[in-house]
Amino acid sequence: MRFLSSLVVLFLVSAPGFNAQAANEWKNPDAQEPPKKRRVTPAAPPRQAPPPAPAPTQASVPAPVLEGQLSLQAVRVCNYQLSYVDKGSGGKIDGSFYLPGIPDGYAMIGAYAQGNYDKPSDCILAVKPANEQSISLLQIPGNWNRVWTDKGSGASMDGSIWHPTPQSNNYVCLGSIAKKGYKQPNLSNYVCVHRCLVESIPVNYPVWSTKGTGSKQKTNVYKLHNSNSFFAVPGKNSPASLTDIKGNMSCSF
Q: What is the pLDDT of residue 64?
A: 75
Give a yes or no: residue 118 inside a domain: yes
Give a yes or no: residue 135 inside a domain: yes
Closest Cα partner for 110 from 86, 147, 142, 77? 77
How many structural domains is the chain composed of? 1
pTM of the full predicted structure? 0.74
Q: How far is 96 from 119, CA to CA, in rounded Å?
A: 9
* Cβ–Cβ < 8 Å for 172, 224: no
Give a yes or no: residue 86 inside a domain: yes
Give a yes or no: residue 196 inside a domain: yes
> Can you give the residue range of the structural domain that contains 198?
67-252
Q: What is the pLDDT of residue 34?
A: 54
Give a yes or no: residue 123 inside a domain: yes
Over the Cα atoms of the chain, what is R_g? 41
Alpha-carbon distances, residue 116 vs 10, 90, 96, 217 (angstroms): 129, 13, 6, 21
Q: What is the pLDDT of residue 63?
A: 66
Q: What is the pLDDT of residue 54?
A: 42
Q: What is the pLDDT of residue 66?
A: 85
Give a yes or no: residue 11 inside a domain: no
Closest Cα partner for 218 from 165, 144, 152? 152
Give a yes or no: residue 41 inside a domain: no
Give a yes or no: residue 247 inside a domain: yes
Q: How far is 64 from 206, CA to CA, in rounded Å?
A: 36
**One pLDDT digit (tens) per residue for the chain, 253 residues:** 444 344 334 343 444 444 444 434 444 444 455 555 556 555 555 566 555 444 334 444 456 778 889 999 999 999 999 999 999 999 999 999 999 999 999 999 999 999 999 999 999 999 999 999 999 999 999 999 999 999 999 899 999 999 999 999 999 999 999 999 999 999 999 999 999 999 999 999 999 999 999 999 999 999 999 999 999 999 988 899 999 999 999 999 9
Exposed, middle or buried: residue 238 (CB in 10 Å: 0-12, 13-18, 19+)? middle
